[in-house]
Structure 1
Amino acid sequence: MEQKVLSDYEHLSRAVSDFIVDYVNQNPNSLLCLAGGHTPLRTFELLVEANKKKLVNFEQCKFVSLDEWVGLGRDTKGSCKETLYNQLFEPLSINEDQICFFDGLSKDLDFECKRVDDFIRKNGSIDLVLLGVGMNGHLGFNEPGTDPDLYSHIVPLDPVTTEVSSKYFEGKKEVTKGISLGIKHFREADTVMIMANGLKKAAIIKESFTKELNIQVPSSLLQNHENLYVFLDGEAASELRHKI
């Protein structure tokens, strides 16, 4: 595990973007899994800029969904699919056959899990995954107490997650379930990046990476991944007394 602390959100986003650019340049046919949400939005802008400047090319890459709110789709602003397509896939001109994304509107969510797992298996495993950390330590929608040996699965959302969800959407949305890759996918990935910023994440970052592995803190379960990189701004790292 390697920790990288940057001074602020802009420098954090640039460090994460530079890491992804370097990784893809060295592994041009990578299978990538990139989190939605607010934290990586500037990183996405920087990846698009790098692509326009011909500093990186994603034409041979494939992309797999991390998660989605059950009941929401691309037409809902703030859904994972809307975020990734509007902020990254379309600006990068990624072809649809390069993408495998959970359909939160599907009437057969078990099939969605199988479809995504089969896509990952067909491509070997995930090469690079970028994760945010929830206020309760969730990764994707692997909520506290979720079985860490699952692949893709449907999960009831923790009250903390449903409370925080309002920041993503225009108007009230009743979200009670998520569909997500499993922690087992992350453990089997070649390289895992975790990104966090702001004082609000300081306590969970300390809990995740300075204490014992705990199923109630899903982010702690990746401590022993041999290629784990934790990117933080100064505020998110403020409760760490020493390097992770």
Structure 2
Amino acid sequence: MRIIRTRDYNHMSEHAAAVIAAQLTLQPNSTLGLATGSTPLGAYVRLVEMCAAGKISFAQVQSYNLDEYRGLTHDDPQSYHHFMWENLFSRVDIDVTRTHVPDGSNEDAASTCANYDAAIEAAGGIDLQLLGIGNNGHIGFNEPGDEFVVGTHCVDLTESTIKANSRLFESIDEVPRQAYTLGIGAIMHARRILVIASGTAKADAVHAMCYGPVTPACPASVLQLHPDCIVIADAAALSAC
């Protein structure tokens, strides 16, 4: 695990975008694993700018998102599909037919998850997986628990995750209580992993991820075992390290 300390959120975003841009330059047909939430927004802004300037291209890229709320359709403004369309897919030269987000509208969890795993396997796996980290150490929606779940699965969101995500909804009551998420196995099979973190609220989780025991009580700690994992975090997120 390689840790890169940055000054602040903007500096972190610049470094993260540079890593993704380098991936696309070296391997234009990369399969990217993408994340949502406030943390990657700055990196996406910079990637959009680089694409508009002709410095990078997404034309040969295919992507698989980490997760999606169960019960939300793709066109729901709170869905992660909509988030990706608004913040990246509609602003770069990616073929939208080659972008993939778990189908939150499919109530059949078993088929939704199995199909998503099969699609990633058929694509040859993920070349670069972008991750954020939750305040409780979750990656994707893999919440703290008694075991690492390997495949894509439906998860009951913890109260801390629901509270953290409620800032994006009009009220906490509107936050879905379940989500489909890529499993730890698929994440760990990515050839390279990029974790980004910002702010003091993430400091304890980042410390546990980098220096704590490998335990499903902090799902991100498993990343210590990955052969090519880069952590880019600002000084606040690394303040406990």
SS in 1 for 2:18: helix
CA offsets, 1:71-107, max 9 Å, x none? 1233333321111111001111422321121111112
The residue aligned with 1:156 is: 156
2:25 aligned counterpart, secondary structure = helix
Determine if contact 2:144/2:219 at 8 Å carries over to the other structure: yes
Q: 1:17 to 1:174 in 2, by over 3 A?
A: closer
What amino acid is aligned across from residue 236 of structure 2 in structure 1? Answer: E
Please state how far the C-alpha of 1:25 moved relative to its aligned partner.
Answer: 0.7
CA contact (8 A) 1:24 1:58 kept: yes
Q: Residues 147-198 of structure 1, C-alpha deviation per residue, up to 9 Å, x if partnerless?
A: 4242111111112111212112234414111100001011111000110000
The equivalent residue for 2:28 is 28
- In structure 1, the residue matched to 2:220 is 219
- Between 1:71-80 and 1:1-10, the stretch displaced more is 71-80
Task: Provide the residue aligned with 2:139 in structure 1.
Answer: 139
- 2:73 corresponding residue in structure 1: 73
Q: Supply the AA of the counterpart residue of 2:193.
A: V
> Measured at CA, do residues 146 and 87 of structure 1 come closer, stay the same or move farther in structure 2, by a change above 3 Å?
farther
The equivalences for 1:47-86 within 5 A come to: 47-86=47-86
Instruction: Determine the structure 1 residue equivalent to 2:231.
Output: 230
Distance 2:177 2:52 in 1: 39
2:45 matched to which residue of 1? Answer: 45
Paired AA for residue 236 in structure 1? A
Contact 2:169 2:175 in 1 (8 A): no
Contact 2:152 2:182 (C-alpha < 8 Å) held by counterparts: yes
| Alignment partners' CA distance in 1, 2:130 and 2:175 | 27
Q: Which segments of 5 or more consecutive residues in structure 1 lack a partner in the other structure? A: none
Aligned position for 2:116? 116
Rounded Cα–Cα distance in structure 2 between residues aligned with 1:174 and 1:30? 33
The one-letter code matched in structure 2 to 1:178 is: A
Separation in structure 1 between the aligned mates of residue 155 and residue 226 of structure 2, nearest angstrom:
24
TM-score (norm 1): 0.94
- Where does residue 196 of structure 1 map in the other structure? 197
Q: What residue ranges of structure 2 are gaps of 5+ in the alignment?
A: none
In structure 2, the CA distance between the partners of 1:137 and 1:40, relative to structure 1 (3 Å rule), is same
Instruction: Give identity over the alignment, percent.
Output: 32
User: What does the per-residue CA deviation read over 1:203-243, in whole Å, with 9 as the maximum and x for residues that have no partner?
Assistant: 11111111110111000011121100001001001111xxx
Cα-to-partner distance string for 1:11-41 (whole Å, 9 max, x where unaligned): 1000000010001110111110111001011
What is the CA–CA distance in structure 2 between the aligned matches of 1:146 and 1:71, rounded to whole Å? Answer: 26
CA distance in 1, matches of 2:146, 2:190: 19
Name the stretch that deviates more: 24-33 or 165-174. 165-174
Deviations 1:109-165 (A, max 9, x none): 222112211111111111101000001111101011164242111111112111212
Q: Is the 8 A contact 1:44 1:87 kept in 2?
A: yes
Name the SS of the counterpart of 1:160 in structure 2.
helix
Q: Which residue number corresponds to residue 210 of structure 2?
A: 209
Q: Which moved more, 1:127-136 or 1:70-79?
A: 70-79
CA distance in structure 2 between the partners assigned to 1:162 and 1:146 by the alignment: 20
